[in-house]
Structure 1
Amino acid sequence: MVDMLSTPVPTRRILALVTSLLLAGCATTPQQTVSAPTAPSAPALYDEGMVSAADPRAAQAGAEILRRGGSATDAAIATMLALNVVEPQSSGIGGGGFLVLGDAAGRIETWDGRETAPKAATPKRFLDASGQPLPFRTAVIGGLSVGVPGNLAMAAKAHASHGRLPWAALFEPAIRLARDGFALSPRGFRSLSTQPETGAHDPQARAIFYGVNGEPLPVGTTIRNPALAKTLEMLAAKGAKGLSSGPLAQEIAAKVAAQTPQDGKMTAADIAGFVAKQRPGVCGTYRVYRICGMGPPSSGATTVLATLIQLERFDLTALGPDSPTAWHLIAESERLAYADRDVFLADPDFEKVPVDALLDRAYLARRGALISPDTTIPKVTAGLPAPKLTLGSGPPEHGTSHFVVIDRQGDVASWTSTIESPFGSGIMVGGFYLNNELTDFSFVPQKDGALVANRVEGGKRPRSSMAPTIVYGPDGKLLMVVGAAGGATIPVQVIRALIGVLDWKLPVDKALALPVLFAPGDMVMVEKGSRLEAMIPALTTLGHTAIKAADMPLKTNAVVVSGGTLVGAGDPRSEGVAVTQ
């Protein structure tokens, strides 16, 4: 079940659609030249490469790097940097992420750039003086929630192994966007309007995104971020060490510490000590497909695979996407998978995570046997014994982005990048927001006399739901690359997309348009305004009495190989697109 192989992955090309408003603010500066690729290219498998990202400007940045001879890894780094500029509420160098690389031979390599707690952090970090959990917003805003950023360190390690263009070249599109400006999109405006407590928390951020009246700048306004352009120029020249040491690291540590009212404060040594780690990839077989993703400290791959494998005995293809029974079965399987996730998934450097046991096919067959097409499981619990650990509670992350790159040589990068909540902690340094990732830890370190696996500890990485995923077909060739943003809903978004393509044989755009059902426990949530809301009476008849329609933070990006051609899409709920090089 665990796959520790190495290298990057395959894929193809496709159409690009870009909104005129979104592109209106893009710079027209002539493209800068860069030196020849630093590594020889393999023979091309596809006519063109492709990038799918949550913002057209970022997708175009990645496509530019592909045109200039860059690898999938190079283009993914450029996409991440550009997203930091045009989608600052969601991800960037102030946060972390997980990167899954693959190649045409099916070899997988996974990287962990998840943020870490300061060394001095304690399990009581998010408790008040009376031992009660802090209110979420109190915990988020300011330094208490900030983890040591890991995205850039992870990017540097991936580039060292798989880059073709020089490091500095990857920064050029993002520097142009930050320096010359970009049009504020409708989604960016909504985030600034609905999250002013974090978006406008820092005076530096208010000066960039808000007017003198304190209101967000209007849609279409050209936003320039010279501080971020200067930071990116410095990092292009100095590499990742420009963030891990020197003036920028000292400024981050000092600003975070000054806004940390209790528990362990961040230090420059914490930032210098961050290590991006290569982790064992997690792969499993669903029907005839090999599906690979990110293991602990992410719960993404284990939750996605467990949910799917538990469903194998049911003919979802025959039921189809309009069947309440099909969605009922999906809900029941999600409930079982999330019960295991909540108890066992945590940072593997601190807790023993039984990945092989959780994905053992005999175990999942027993779990799947609990699912009935006619009734619901009265109460779901973890299926493995957990004598010393228990589940804890923590708020979901919403400030996340996913992007996919496939180059002409057939190498793939699937990267989920996050700063956790919209605009993270609200603290801005060097023109970028710092994450509030530590609120992904359980606020309660102990429950019913048992330790919570995902409790805060110094140097520990909080559990994540991020699920960058690569799928190979029965012929061993690349079939699909997918991932999502939206906190604890990320695995179910990926599951919905996979079932849509693999079981329901939908085109990728139609699969990403499918509604989302989220069943992490006894409560079942269905996407408000979708066909699932109309199915609530039928689902109730099947036993789901705790069910409601809700707005959910949904944003999925994917590329599939169809008839030897790359076909990509962005979630229709987002501003995401797929762009060919």
Structure 2
Amino acid sequence: MPLMMPHSKILMAWLARVSAVSCSLLLLACARESVPLDDHSERNALIHSQHAVVSANRHASEIGRNIMRQGGNAMDAAIATKIALTFVEPHETGLGGGGFLLYYDAQSGQQYLYDGRETAPSTAHSDWFKVLGMPLHHYIAVTRGRSVGVPGMLAMLERAHQDHGQLPWAQLFEATIAMAEQGIDMPPRLQRQYAADRSLRWFGDMRHLHQQRSADDTPWLVNTELAHTLSLFAAEGSAPLYHGSVGEAYRERAAQRWPMRGELSAQDFADYQAVMRDPLCGDYRGWTVCSASAPSSAGVALLQILGILSHYDIASMSPDSPTFIHLYTEASRLAFADRQYYLGDPAFTNINESKLIAPDYLQKRAGLISRDRVMRKANPGDPDGEVQIRHAPAVKEDDEYGTSHLSVVDHQGNAVALTGSIEAPFGSRMMARGLMLNNQLTDFDFDSELSDRLAPNRVEPGKRPRSSMAPTLIFSPDGELTYVLGSRGGSRIIGYVAKTVIGVIDWRLSLQRAIDLPNMLHRGERLELEAGTVLDERVESLLRLGHKVDLITLESGVHGIERVDDGWRGAADKRMEGAVYGDSRE
């Protein structure tokens, strides 16, 4: 008989084998390309009186606009745009992942939040991402089959369309099917990420992501497998994914990745349901800000940051002043402390979100901030007790940074803010039937316990991991929908959206100008400032206040629409390749 290696040696050999992949991924995370910001925002200055769509890609935005030209409403356009992004932005989002959709019905004035977050398989357990009792490095866990959750995006879009769509479901797929069959020039950002991510050479699925044009060797994106899969979805709805051959191929692909193979079952897929939830809303200087509730942490964290800052005269401060940056990031530290301590899937965790955003609680939390010095430690608080829980563990930052956001408004004033993700760029580095497999289960906490309690975001069977996606609607003091927005960026989404909200409300900037402001955020460990901006000159002042500062590339992807006197005006983040498409009355 052949000699058998001890389990520990097998695992150590495997860890050594994947360490090069981990290093490549780490290098990519630190070396993403910086896109300089322009001084002016002329490309998105057009006002659209009829309807507007803004997303991360011009092909997707144009498809959404054309759907409304064909008589569709905002929901139809948002779904068609998201389907298109599955093809043109496969490394960030798609029907193989999940997301949150916030819909505003202009006639009734009602909001509807759809939760299409992924779920863990029935076999998941507390040691899901551990080896020999030790948590895996995040970048190793990303590429394991166990990172893949039951995708929720398609089920969410189908349910939202049944509730609010106007055009036939199949019509929303037609343009993307044709585009995926015929191909397009590979979008520049996808080219850059594909070329820069050296880890992709380890994964066969990724090596065949694109073909080359024979004429001039220009990178060419085509996905005939996806076109066939979309044709099935167009004809049969979500059934091929949750009850049929597409789902079977998806599960089999995840199960092939060794070690730590995926354990998704046919029953896990059959049991999946998109969930309708109430959005979380709060007041900020008379404006009403609404965003996603749990299992997204964005609603609580965003409203906590704003609620704490409401006790300061932010309008009198410069957006790049050390005083504002200090107050803003200290508020963020407190919000992220509560986020870690309390938030997870509400089906598994008893969460009282209304208490966490209550004005009296946030006033007490604001009292913990000093203008002259950073807090030694940002602790969570107890809305019913102590303003800070001193024995709580320090906040650990999440490692993810992918995702994509789109915003739509139609001629009736209906609006959609939709944030979707496969988690890391290129997800789990696996594809099935043309779909990129997500790695969303790495959004769970790998340790099942905090210092004094079970982690609310620990891995459990059938559970949805905590998210940071923040589809957001903002209503003026007289109740009129005024802004529709959201962002990409993993847990940094919260900071990107908060900065933008402050820009339009406190400093009365146009939405585009607010998006263009240099990014700054704090997720619990270090103050992150956008390199190559005026913030470079603020580092010394912030160091003197006691901050630990990182100057890094911060690729937000805030895409939104604002109400103006003559209609609607889109705004696309210039750090990405976003595009606004719309129409005006002739």
Mark yes or no: TM-score above 0.5: yes
Q: Give the whole-Å Cα distance in 1 for the aligned partners of 2:173 and 2:198.
A: 29
1:376 aligns with 2:377: no
Structure-1 separation of matches of 2:337 and 2:97: 28
Question: Equivalences for 1:9-408 in 2 at 5 Å?
Answer: 47-104=49-106, 106-129=109-132, 131-198=133-200, 202-209=203-210, 220-259=218-257, 261-262=259-260, 265-384=263-382, 393=396, 395-408=398-411
The 1-side partners of 2:499 and 2:175 are apart by: 33
1:235–1:389 distance in 2 versus 1, CA, 3 Å: farther
Deviations 1:235-280 (A, max 9, x none): 1000011211111111111221222533871112111111100012
CA distance in 2, matches of 1:389, 1:242: 45
The answer (yes or no) to whether the contact 1:394–1:441 under 8 Å persists in 2 is no
Contact 1:401 1:416 in 2 (8 A): yes
> What letter matches 2:459 in structure 1?
V
1:504 alignment counterpart:
507
What is the CA RMSD across the aligned residues, in angstroms? 2.4
Q: Deviations over 1:82-121 (max 9, x none)?
A: 0010110000010000011113354211010000011101
- Taking the aligned partners of 2:59 and 2:81, their CA distance within structure 1 comes to 9
How far does residue 182 in structure 1 lie from its aligned partner after superposition? 1.2
**Equivalences for residues 538-557 of structure 1 within 5 A:** 538-541=541-544, 543-557=545-559
Closer, same or farther in 2 for the Cα pair 1:388/1:546, shift >3 Å?
closer
Q: Compared with structure 1, are the counterparts of its residues 134 and 436 closer, same or farther at alpha carbon in structure 2 (3 Å cutoff)?
A: same
User: Which SS does the other structure have where 2:404 is aligned?
Assistant: strand
- In the TM superposition, residue 393 of structure 1 has moved relative to its aligned partner by 4.7
Q: Residues 522 and 128 (structure 1 numbering): CA distance in 2 closer, same or farther, change over 3 Å?
A: closer
Aligned AA for 2:137?
Answer: P
Residue 84 of structure 1 contacts residue 93 of structure 1 at CA under 8 Å; is this kept in 2?
yes
Which residues of 2 match residues 473-484 of structure 1 at below 5 A?
A: 473-484=476-487
- Which stretch shows the higher mean deviation, 153-162 or 363-372? 363-372
String of CA shifts for 1:167-225, please: whole Å, max 9, x gaps: 00000121121011111122001111122434x5553442232679xxxx999533211
CA spacing shift, 1:187–1:263, aligned 2, 3 Å: closer
Work out the CA distance in 2 between the residues paired with 1:283 and 1:443.
30
TM-score (norm 2): 0.87
Matches of residues 464-543 of structure 1 in structure 2 within 5 Å?
Answer: 464-541=467-544, 543=545
For the structure 1 residues 246 and 283, does the alpha-carbon distance in structure 2 shift closer, same or farther, using more than 3 Å as the test? same
Question: 1:578 aligns to what SS in structure 2?
Answer: strand
Shift of 1:342: 1.1
CA contact (8 A) 2:145 2:262 kept: no
Superposition pairs of residues 439-458 of structure 1, within 5 angstroms: 439-448=442-451, 450-458=453-461
Contact 1:122 1:263 in 2 (8 A): no
- Conserved? CA contact 1:120–1:263, under 8 Å: no
Structure 1 position 47, deviation (Å): 3.3
Which amino acid letter does the alignment assign opposite residue 553 of structure 2?
D
Return the letter of the residue paired with 2:328.
Answer: I
Distance in 1 (alpha carbons) for counterparts of 2:66 and 2:416 = 16
Secondary structure of residue in 2 paired with 1:325? helix
Tell me the amino acid that sits aligned with residue 282 of structure 1.
Answer: L
Is the 2:152–2:274 Cα contact (8 Å) retained in structure 1? yes
CA–CA distance in structure 1, aligned partners of residues 395 and 152 of structure 2: 25
Distance 1:448 1:373 in 2: 30
Deviation sequence 1:372-399 (CA, Å, 0-9, x none): 3333222210011689997775743222
Look up the equivalent residue of 1:277 and give its one-letter code: V
Aligned residues of 1:473 and 1:479 also touching (Cα < 8 A): yes
Is the Cα contact below 8 Å between 2:559 and 2:578 reproduced in 1?
yes
In the superposition, relative to structure 1, how do residues 339 and 518 fare at CA in structure 2: closer, same or farther (>3 Å)?
same
Secondary structure of the structure 2 residue equivalent to 1:413: strand
Distance (whole Å) between structure 2 residues aligned to residue 157 and residue 163 of structure 1 = 9
SS in 1 for 2:263: coil
Amino acid at match of 1:66: M
- 1:345-385 superposed Cα distances (whole Å, 9 cap, x missing partner): 10000111120110111101111122233332222100116
Once residues 78 and 219 of structure 1 are traced to their aligned partners in structure 2, the CA distance between those partners, rounded to angstroms, is 30
Q: Which moved more, 1:393-402 or 1:482-491?
A: 393-402
Aligned AA (2:207): R
Is this contact kept in 2: 1:106–1:477, CA < 8 A? no
SS at match of 2:208: helix
Distance in 2 of aligned mates of 1:64 and 1:184: 22
SS in 1 for 2:422: strand
SS at match of 1:172: helix
The structural deviation recorded for 1:544 is: 3.1
1:540 Cα offset (Å): 2.4
* Alpha carbons of structure 1 residues 301 and 318: separation in structure 2 relative to 1, 3 Å: same
Letter in 1 for 2:497: V
| 1:448-481: CA deviation from partner (whole Å, max 9, x where unpaired) | 3531111111100000111110000011101101
- Rounded to whole Å, the distance in 2 between the matches of 1:321 and 1:548 is 18
Q: One-letter code of the match for 1:153?
A: A
Stretch moving more, 515-524 or 287-296: 515-524
Q: 1:435 to 1:391 in 2, by over 3 A?
A: farther
Q: Give the AA of the match of 1:422.
A: P
> Would the aligned equivalents of 2:337 and 2:395 in 1 still touch at CA under 8 Å?
no
**d(CA) in 2 for partners of 1:201, 1:115:** 26
| Matched-pair identity in % | 38
Partner SS, residue 404 of structure 1: strand
Distance 1:467 1:164 in 2: 25
Q: Tell me, in whole angstroms, the C-alpha distance in 2 between the residues paired with 1:389 and 1:281.
A: 28
Q: How many aligned positions are there?
A: 534
Shift of 1:136: 2.0
Displacement of 1:447 in angstroms is 3.5
Q: What is the alpha-carbon distance in structure 1 between the residues aligned to residue 395 and residue 346 of structure 2? A: 17
The unaligned stretches of length 5 or more in structure 1 are: 1-13, 19-45
Residues 499-533 of structure 1: per-residue CA shift (max 9 Å, x gap): 11111111111111111111122521111112122
* Local SS of the residue matching 1:485: coil
SS state of the match for residue 450, structure 1? coil
Q: Is the 8 A contact 1:81 1:171 kept in 2?
A: yes
Following the alignment from structure 1 to structure 2, what is the Cα–Cα distance between the partners of residues 303 and 248? 36
Question: Partner letter of residue 322 of structure 2?
Answer: P
Structure 2: any 5+ residue segments left out of the alignment? 1-40
Shift of 1:404: 0.3
Aligned equivalents of 1:501, 1:565: Cα separation in 2: 17
Deviates further, 378-387 or 347-356: 378-387
Aligned-partner Cα distance in 2 for 1:315–1:557: 27
User: Can you list the C-alpha shifts for 1:108-135, whole angstroms capped at 9, x where unaligned?
Assistant: 1101000001110111010002x11112
Letter in 2 for 1:140: V
Name the counterpart of 2:426: 423
The answer to whether the 8 Å contact 1:304/1:495 transfers is yes
